[in-house]
Amino acid sequence: MQETTDRMAIIAFSGTVDKMIAISTLATGAVAMGMEVDIFVTTWGLQAFLKGASQTNMRISKDFEEFGPAMMEAMQARKMPSWLDTLKQAMEFGDIHVHACSQTMELLGMSVDDLEDIVEDVMGAAGFIGRAQESKIQLFI
């Protein structure tokens, strides 16, 4: 059995704002505790990392979509940073790596140039699974 490290692995499957906020909050908390964070962005999560998408994406998970407008209004009233700005700020203080799924990139005809600069690289599922296997915490969001 492989030894685990102080790392959290997150699979970002959904690109809705509520889930992206959760991902950035959890990543921020982990780096504040001295952990390394790997985020594997796949399927619809990859859509949230398209350049400029964080400014126009207002989608909320289907189960809670009726709360979406109120949530967005409250965030704007409180001048809360976007999930992307929160993640970027956390990256200044800790070790966060964002990896795009190679299969999803190919399927959707994307290149790394289409994505926000915080996406570090493109990797396959097996590469990420290897890193996740060595992590103390694994999350699917």
- For residue 107, what is the domain's CATH number? 3.40.1260.10
Q: Which of 16-20, 71-75, 100-104, 105-109 has the lowest mean pLDDT?
A: 71-75
- List, for residues 80-99, the tens digit of each pLDDT value: 788 999 999 999 999 999 99
Of all residues in the chain, the percent with pLDDT exceeding 90 is 74
- For residue 63, what are its two tokens? 């189960």
Q: CA-to-CA distance for 93 and 75, rounded, in angstroms? A: 23
Query: What range defines the domain where residue 28 resides?
Result: 5-140
Read off the pLDDT of residues 102-134 as tens digits, 9 standing for 90 and up.
999 999 999 999 999 999 999 999 999 999 999
Based on the structure, what is the number of domains in the chain? 1
Instruction: Write down the pLDDT at residue 45.
Output: 94
The rounded Cα 85 to chain-centroid distance in angstroms is 12
Pull the structure tokens for residue 55. 């400014």
Q: Which residues contact 8 (CB under 8 A, 6 or more apart)?
A: 26, 27, 30, 35, 36, 37, 38, 135, 136, 137, 138, 139
pTM of the predicted model as reported, rounded to 2 decimal places: 0.88
pLDDT at 78: 67
